[in-house]
Structure 1
């Protein structure tokens, strides 16, 4: 008779240890039996080039640059035998490589890139401690505005926030300009998406980059932003307000 290598396959963790956590909208405790014990975010490093202004005994400082934050997440991962532990660990790490993290006790989002992982044994039967380290961008939840004429948008974040523009023309347009970006050859009811987060320009499923004069992708500054367009057309603007 065939014997499965995954012994004790009917055992399940008794309860969640710590707080619930989602990666790419998957609840980690359910998908990989990994319970989040702690999640610590470290502020990004500030760098600036300075030169001495000897005539005034002061410094000339270029615009400071603030780097990404780092986050360390510690999980207790359940596995009733080594094979099941390895299976759950593989799934967790694969999900964490590039993900959006959301925590039960916070309304913040973390767009994260995994930079390192390690494991260690624990005094709890069937549990392994897993430590994951990420580079993260911390933000408020996705914010969306629908406009159809010049408008003012207030970004509650504390840093420049990349945004997505979705333009759906009401009529045929030889060209159209919004936020300083000009797009040519727009078709009625065909949405042109200028995605400042994923760095793409699409009209439906077609690459539309060649029909633009795009130099920099659209972004919203902290606070007040004046959005101007060359003609009144329905536009959806979406962004994650970035928190430094």
Structure 2
């Protein structure tokens, strides 16, 4: 086990003086359900297959110090962590992290040792460090995506000239059937960056809303493994940058 963890960049040992005793990482409960067809020995999945509830995480620590030290530590940790959206990075698993809301509890039974528990209600999926790939004058690319679960991505376009219509294939799909769907952007201007953000669910051009010039049903996502992407312009090409965070169950 590593020496501790980072919570929004602050380390539990070096910043708070906490010694890690144990980690509990729960398995998120699936929302899938199986129901029997009336009068038949057949069961079907009627729930949300592949959709999960939140993941419980508990970190248990102790800390040496007297009662005054304990009270100071409570104030410090509570101000930074309690009730906050937290990015949790474990020393034992560098490059991966969890997001969630944290809570803090603590007990002190004597003037020497203090017990601290930091618990989180986290997103069901674990994330890895972001990956960015830039394609100059892009026309097509097979992108090998890390992770084991579909992940939203951010697509940035920088046109080399004016473009009436620009189409992206392979980066969006029907959530029910899984069939690929096109993403089309109209009226692009030379040098003005267009960002199709599958995480924030926005489309902007140089920071201004450009959703009205977008034709799509779903924001872009990538699947684990090979993703065949094609980029078609009505005139000149774009430089394309694709960013994503690998996700793991």
Which TM-score bucket, shorter chain as reference?
Answer: 0.7 to 0.9
More strand by share: 2
Task: Say which of 161, 164, 172 aligns to 2:162.
Answer: 172
* Match runs of 1:38-117 below 5 Å: 38-53=22-37, 57-62=41-46, 64-67=49-52, 68-76=54-62, 80-81=68-69, 83-94=71-82, 97-114=84-101, 116-117=103-104
Once residues 143 and 111 of structure 2 are traced to their aligned partners in structure 1, the CA distance between those partners, rounded to angstroms, is 51
Task: Say which of 199, 217, 220 aligns to 2:219.
Answer: 217
Deviation (angstroms), 1:56:
7.1
Deviation (angstroms), 1:31:
4.0
- 2:2 touches 2:92 (CA, 8 Å); kept in 1? no
Task: Say which of 160, 166, 172 aligns to 2:150.
Answer: 160
Once residues 115 and 167 of structure 2 are traced to their aligned partners in structure 1, the CA distance between those partners, rounded to angstroms, is 55
Structure 2 stretches lacking a partner, 5+ long: 172-181
Which residue matches 1:140? 128
Deviation (angstroms), 1:241:
1.4
Structure 1 stretches lacking a partner, 5+ long: 1-16
Task: Say which of 112, 119, 136 aligns to 2:106.
Answer: 119
Pairwise CA RMSD of aligned residues?
A: 2.9
Q: How many residues align?
A: 227
Deviation (angstroms), 1:120:
2.1
